[in-house]
């Protein structure tokens, strides 16, 4: 994974502030004009870096935000807005776009999904037009049959860049690893 200024601003800001501190100390002890100029240039550079970082949204950030938006839309039960986030050639396993939307409408009509929380969103950019996001989700589910519980899940979403936006082309549920691997491994060694 390449490290860019816009995806890791904290690292570059820390390095910039270290350089600022260095030049400040050098200038305070020497009062030389060259050290003062270096301090000023470094201060301008760090300020510009922070300002530009606030304005630039990287593809990873846009995809992460899209995943979180989809989680919010599921929580709200807003299938029409979910539809707007899907590519025309969308598929979920054996379901095409239309069948997926029909199943989502049916499921969200019979089941109440609350408190959707996403964790560990990992975005991998394949090229300028494709990316994959893997994430863990947890939500509270209540069905009309009386089931209620917190359900963990893991998802892989394939995104495509079309019409100036990242849209979901594929979605698949992937197995959630056991929750207590460390505890289970310790018990096996006893």
**Bridge partners for 113 per DSSP:** 141
Alpha carbon 67 to chain centroid, angstroms? 6
Greater confidence (30 vs 103) lies with 103
Segment 51-76 mean pLDDT: 89
Rounded Cα distance between 100 and 87, Å, is 12
Q: Where are the beta strands (DSSP E) in 51-94?
A: 86-92
Contact between 129 and 160 (Cβ < 8 Å):
yes
Contact between 152 and 135 (Cβ < 8 Å):
no
Write the DSSP assignment of 121-149 as a string of letters: EEEEEEETTEEEEEEEEEEEEEETTS-EE
- 3-state DSSP assignment of residue 135: strand
Rounded Cα distance between 150 and 171, Å, is 21
Alpha carbon 82 to chain centroid, angstroms? 17
**Bridge partners for 152 per DSSP:** 138
- 3-state DSSP assignment of residue 113: strand
Rounded Cα distance between 151 and 148, Å, is 9
Contact between 121 and 67 (Cβ < 8 Å):
yes
Q: What pLDDT digit, counting tens, does each position of 111-128 carry? A: 888 889 999 999 999 998
Q: What is the pLDDT of residue 4?
A: 54
Highest mean pLDDT among 37-41, 148-152, 164-168: 164-168
Contacts of 186 (CB under 8 A, 6+ apart): none
Res. 56: pLDDT tops 60: yes
Contact between 117 and 139 (Cβ < 8 Å):
yes
pLDDT band at residue 101 using 50, 70 and 90 as cut-offs: very high
């Amino acid at each position: 994974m390449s490290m860019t200024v816009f995806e890791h601003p904290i690292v570059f800001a820390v390095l910039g502030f270290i350089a600022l501190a260095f030049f400040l100390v050098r200038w305070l002890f020497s009062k030389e004009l060259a050290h003062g100029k270096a301090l000023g240039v470094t201060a301008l550079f760090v300020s510009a870096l922070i300002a530009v970082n606030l304005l630039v949204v990287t593809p990873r950030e846009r995809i992460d935000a899209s995943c979180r938006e989809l989680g919010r839309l599921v929580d709200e039960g807003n299938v029409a807005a979910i539809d707007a986030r899907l590519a025309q050639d969308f598929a979920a396993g054996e379901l095409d776009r239309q069948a997926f939307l029909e199943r989502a409408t049916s499921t969200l009509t019979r089941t109440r999904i609350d408190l959707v929380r996403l964790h560990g969103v990992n975005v991998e950019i394949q090229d300028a037009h494709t990316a994959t996001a893997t994430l863990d989700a947890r939500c509270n589910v209540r069905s009309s049959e009386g089931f209620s519980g917190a359900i963990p899940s893991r998802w892989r979403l394939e995104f495509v860049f079309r019409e100036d936006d990242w849209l979901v082309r594929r979605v698949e549920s992937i197995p959630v690893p056991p929750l207590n691997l460390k505890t289970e491994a310790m018990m096996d060694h006893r």
